Structure 1
Amino acid sequence: MSGSENARDLELLAGVARNDRKAIALLYQRHHLRLYRYLLRFVKSEAVAEELVNETFIDVWRAADRFEGRSQVSSWIISIGRNKAISLLRKRSDAELDDDYASGLEDDSDTPEVTTLKQDKAAALRVCINKLSDEHREVIDLVYYQEKAIKEIAVILEVPENTVKTRVFHARKKLSEHMRKAGLDRGWP
């Protein structure tokens, strides 16, 4: 996220702190989809992810005036959502698993053959990612899907930056091993 985008988020958050409903609507509009996708990969349930997004933005509404600026606003929001998801998963050991959700998504610009190849490779990649430990799977998600920097991931996970670097290193190494065993190259069809 660029500095100007974070500056805009800071302006919106200041508006939220003043109980500006338009500001929370705009902040929600800017971040709900990315948060939803992150939480969906985390909890593996569309309904639960949507509920967590709503609860997260309620907390953003309530805590906007306490934002300390130690991270980007987007990282703060993801951190709130992540903590809610962890709490929920601790309470609900029977959380639904939906590993096939993303495999049904299709890119309209591709031919059917390319779409099938991508779906097959994406499904195989998901299988490899799911073989990783929870810690490794989470850093892969934050680095590659959420496009967060090491510093931001450290804030989200509440661990030192060097711990994040170590987890990313080992996660990449393990993922590469799983991909090699599955016969996957690193290229995309």
Structure 2
Amino acid sequence: MQNVVAINSAASQGIIAAQATTDDMLLESISDGDRTAMHTLYARHNVRVYRFILRIVRDTTIAEDLVSQVFLDVWRTAKQFEGRSQVSTWLLSIARFKALTALRQRRFEDIDQDEVREIADDSDTPETSLERSTTSAILRACVAKLSPAHREIITLIYYHEKSVEEVGQIIGIPQSTVKTRMFYARKHLAELLRGAGVHSLAA
């Protein structure tokens, strides 16, 4: 019995230690060849990276393959990370490059975006899940009607909670351009929402 308690205690301490480890610390360990750190970073970010790629390529099989490529790149190039941005921003930059490269290689058919929303995300709270269940269908339909450039801005800022500065780093455009695109993207989205009869979301 004492052995079981000791094992459970050690496991709990391991989980707590992993949660307390920052992304930068993980990346530093990864650059030294630490596979456990790589697994932790993957577990922490793979869902968000997958969702981000899927909204661009709209093909689940391609998205899954690209996620693997993204984290393989992280494993290979961790030493090159200079800490000028958040690790999550760096990951999305890699993901965006690979997704756009994939788009240039072939055309994709639209997928049912419900598949994206059904993917569990450990960071979701009950309140967030409830809100998404009541508004996501309308939002998805309206966001899908935006231009690729505007849809990308909305996705990064609202779905991935990136700042204007971070969005500029990911896309590779000036912050002023990000703000301009955001202004017109929100304006167009509000018009689409009002057209769908949803005035509270459009406000």
Name the residue aligned to 1:164: 178
Identical residues among aligned pairs (%): 45
Give structure 1 stretches of 5+ with no counterpart.
none
Once the two structures are superposed, residues 9-52 of structure 1 have per-residue CA deviations (whole angstroms, 9 ceiling, x without a partner) of 11111111111111111111111111111112221222221111
Q: CA deviation at 1:55?
A: 0.3
1:142 is aligned to 2:159: no
Tell me: CA distance 1:65–1:6, structure 2 relative to 1, closer, same or farther (3 Å): farther
Q: CA deviation at 1:123?
A: 2.6
Query: Do the aligned partners of 1:17 and 1:61 also contact (CA within 8 Å) in 2?
Result: yes
Partner residue, 1:81: 95
- Tell me by how many angstroms 1:164 deviates: 0.6
Q: Distance in 2 between matches of 1:60 and 1:104?
A: 26
With normalisation by structure 2, the TM-score equals: 0.78
What do you get for the CA RMSD once the two structures are aligned? Answer: 2.7
What is the CA distance between 1:97 and its match in structure 2? 1.5
Say if 2:47 and 2:119, in contact at 8 Å, map to a contact too: no
Asked if the contact 2:154/2:185 (under 8 Å) is kept, the reply is: yes
How far apart, in 1, do the equivalents of 2:155 and 2:104 lie? 20
Aligned: 1:92 with 2:121: no
1:110-189 correspondence runs (5 A): 118=134, 121-187=135-201
Q: Which amino acid aligns with 1:20?
A: D
Runs of 4+ aligned residues of structure 1 deviating over 3 Å after TM superposition are 102-107
Paired residues, number: 176
1:27-106 superposed matches below 5 A: 27-93=41-107, 95-102=108-115, 105=118
Larger Rg: 2
CA contact (8 A) 2:113 2:140 kept: no
In the alignment, is the contact (CA less than 8 A) between 2:23 and 2:87 conserved in 1? yes
- 1:126-176 deviation digits (Å, cap 9, x = unpaired): 221111111000000001100101111010001111111111111000100
Offset at residue 96 of structure 1 (A): 3.2
Q: Aligned to 1:70, what secondary structure does the other structure show?
A: coil
Higher relative contact order (Cα pairs below 8 Å, separated by 6+ residues): 1
In the TM superposition, what is the alpha-carbon distance from 1:7 to its structure 2 partner?
A: 7.4
